Amino acid sequence: MLTETITIRKATVSDIPTLARFEQGVVETERPFDPTLKPHPNSYYDVPRMIEDPLVHLVVAEHGGRLIGCGYARIEASKHYLRHERHAYLGFMYVDLEWRGKNVNQMIIENLKQWTIAQGVTEMRLEVYVKNLTAIKAYENAGFSQLLVQMRMGISNKQ
């Protein structure tokens, strides 16, 4: 089975060049869904800091010595009115195009889930663009369910 040859491991400093490429893949994938993104080049993450942060578990998927995907879980304080004090926020979910649909994302999420459990946290959350139906389906297949819809309105101060 193909997934048996894929390993999920904690990201290291030597992975940063590939993670920079993955980050641009995330940005370009999300660009059609968000008219408010800055033009290229654009960056979301401080990867070196994430690698060192004890509250962040940044992992990579590797096959045959080649990185094919990544994702992270970050422990955050939850809003005071929720039942859980902390949750794991998932992000930087990326899988190379030729590896999509082969359960790589599911393997990454499972690793992040196990790390989250080991931190004593019982809730995982993530954000996905409402029109990114492929990603929504993948996350639902991993056990997530839709909770909120974030809305926006662009306004102008020109009269």
Contact 93, 110 (CB under 8 A): no
DSSP state of 78: P
The pLDDT assigned to 5 comes to 92
Distance of alpha carbon 87 from alpha carbon 39, whole angstroms:
32
**Domain map (residue ranges) of the chain:** 2-141
- The pLDDT tens digits for 1-30 are 566 799 999 999 999 999 999 999 999 999
Task: Decide: residue 70, CB within 10 A, 0-12 exposed, 13-18 middle, 19+ buried.
Answer: buried
Q: The tokens 């578990």 sit on which residue?
A: 57
* Low-confidence residues of the chain: pLDDT under 50: none
The pLDDT, as a whole number, for residue 156 is 84
Superfamily of domain 2-141: Gcn5-related N-acetyltransferase (GNAT) (3.40.630.30)
Look at residues 125, 117, 64 and name the one whose alpha carbon lies nearest to residue 91: 125
What pLDDT is stored for residue 66 in this prediction?
A: 97
pTM: 0.91
Residue 129: which of 18, 37, 7, 66 has the closest Cα?
37
Helices marked H in the chain — which ranges?
16-30, 47-52, 104-118, 133-141
Instruction: Enter the tokens of residue 93.
Output: 């979910």
